[in-house]
Copies of this chain bind each other. A is one copy, B any other.
């Protein structure tokens, strides 16, 4: 018992500052994603982060700020996907690769849970929901639209309305796994590959 206390104390002081901030973030993320905003208490977070509640309040003004930090802190993770968004010689093959990439990224449990969380709290934090919408799904659609426009100008695709084509592509690929992920606890990431492939097949049949 004394040992535990000493061990805990060891992480205190200046060295512990950054460490505790990260631990708080991680604990809050895990709990918010698992139980939601309202059902996660600051005491829960403090306990999970092995930190006193007071320490949380030195790093974050209040519970809301901790929540916004989680949501906005994950917004930039689409960038990694957006960078791989280019098509070479093999149009069908590359679109298939992109679709598989995309669905694999979005169907990840953490992404699904974050999405569910933002939707769940959309009435409590409307601006946050809008920001998330603008910065994640809307940005991906815009990137696809730009790609399809370029491909159309090159004569390799026939998307007169690239924006609509992008929306069609996105929802052909994501619709089923995303919807299942919203309602069902376990997303069953089995047949993501075949879902992506059939989506690309339908898309190309309509837009080539």
Chain B residue at minimal CB-CB distance from A136: B183
Chain B proximity of A192: nearest CB distance (Å) = 14
Q: Are A185 and B120 in contact (CB under 8 A)?
A: no
Q: How far is the CA of A205 from the CA of B122 in the complex (A)?
A: 36
Task: Choose from B126, B129, B137, B202 the contact partner of A206 (Cβ within 8 Å).
Answer: B202
For window 103-156 of chain A, which residues contact chain B by CB distance below 8 Å?
116, 118-124, 126, 129-130, 132-133, 137
Chain B residue at minimal CB-CB distance from A204: B206
Q: How far is the CA of A180 from the CA of B130 in the complex (A)?
A: 9
> Which chain B residues border A121 with CB–CB below 8 Å?
120
Task: Choose from B122, B161, B171 the contact partner of A116 (Cβ within 8 Å).
Answer: B122
> Which chain B residues border A175 with CB–CB below 8 Å?
167-168, 170-171, 174-175
The interface-forming segment of A34-42, A81-89, A94-102 is A34-42
8 contacts between A and B (CB under 8 A): A35-B123, A39-B124, A116-B119, A122-B185, A130-B183, A168-B199, A171-B174, A171-B175
Partner-B contacts on A (CB < 8 A): 34-36, 38-39, 116, 118-124, 126, 129-130, 132-133, 137, 161, 164, 167-168, 170-172, 174-176, 179-180, 182-185, 198-199, 201-203, 205-207
